[in-house]
Amino acid sequence: MKQFASSKELFEELKKLKKNAQSIGFVPTMGALHSGHIELIKQAKKQTTHVVVSIFVNPTQFNDPADFQAYPRTIQEDIKLLEQQNVDYLFVPTTQEIYPQSQEQELIDLGKLDKEMEGRFRPNHFQGVAQVVKRLLAIIQPDYAFFGQKDFQQLTIIRHLVKHEKLSVKIIACPTVRNDQGLALSSRNMRLSEAQKQQATAIYQTLLYAQQYADKISPKELKKRCIDRLEKEELKVDYFEFVHPDTLSFLEEQWESDAIACVALYCGNVRLIDNMHITTTK
């Protein structure tokens, strides 16, 4: 695996591949890699000839400096994992490399997609995500970029970014990877105790419950019941919403044929998010 810190050097290296009509798959990460990331890498390896992974804990997407500091950083373990997966290129830029002082930070038009859910609890988070992804895509210019469905709102926003900026990359969404009890894998799970991991399985159970009762009662009523279930397990809910899969608008009285149940909550002091695709007979 070749490792780069300089965007210019990486760009030059990848240019050679493009000349030879090789395809480039890109997996952006913030490190602390787990099986969810490995799944993205496996997909990238299946669909492209060369895979680039980036590790960059992006400061502009953290609205809470304490959360940024607490974010796990495990670069040596990450490198081992990436080598085991035969990743071709690793990009580990500095903050200065991604955000040069000479370059002014632009505001990216995200429509209304960043206003609710994560956007309400983490103001400017998605501006930060969109800025870093745009910058990384400009450096790497991949044919395909791979994102997990676990961050559903992020995935929707990145699709919007690509369309809005007319970028030529194809975005591939990969299913959420869960542990045996259904807990969605996340770098933040490293901060959960064994008891909390058990407590957090209520999230998946509640999403399954939502799938079972969708259609039978209104989204608004089902949302209340889901929040009650989670709160009974002493999870502190930031939001639980049923949303339209493209516009992310909230469903209240009526179901759509496809909906996404999105949840964010605290288990102890660790904030977790998850979602599930809900199909109805509508």
Main-chain dihedrals φ then ψ at residue 240, nearest 5 degrees: -140, 120
CB closer to ligand PAF, 136 vs 243: 136
List the beta bridge partners of residue 78.
Answer: none
Parallel/antiparallel/unpaired status of strands 89-91 and 2-4: parallel
Report the Cα 31 to chain-centroid distance in Å: 12
* Minimum distance of ligand PAF from residue 273's CB (angstroms): 11
* Residues lying near ligand PAF in the complex (CB under 6 A): 28-30, 58, 61, 129, 132-133, 151, 154
* Minimum distance of ligand PAF from residue 61's CB (angstroms): 6
* Minimum distance of ligand PAF from residue 280's CB (angstroms): 29
Which amino acid type is present at position 224?
Answer: K
CB closer to ligand PAF, 133 vs 263: 133
Up-side HSE of residue 48: CA atoms within 13 Å toward CB? 30
CB closer to ligand PAF, 98 vs 243: 98
Q: Indicate if 37 belongs to the active site.
A: yes
- Token pair belonging to 196: 């909390």
CB closer to ligand PAF, 184 vs 251: 184
Q: Which of 37, 50, 125, 160 is catalytic?
A: 37
* Minimum distance of ligand PAF from residue 60's CB (angstroms): 9
* Minimum distance of ligand PAF from residue 64's CB (angstroms): 15
* Minimum distance of ligand PAF from residue 160's CB (angstroms): 14
CB closer to ligand PAF, 29 vs 43: 29
CB closer to ligand PAF, 37 vs 229: 37
How far is 241 from 151, CA to CA, in rounded Å?
A: 14
The residues annotated with a catalytic role in the active site are 37
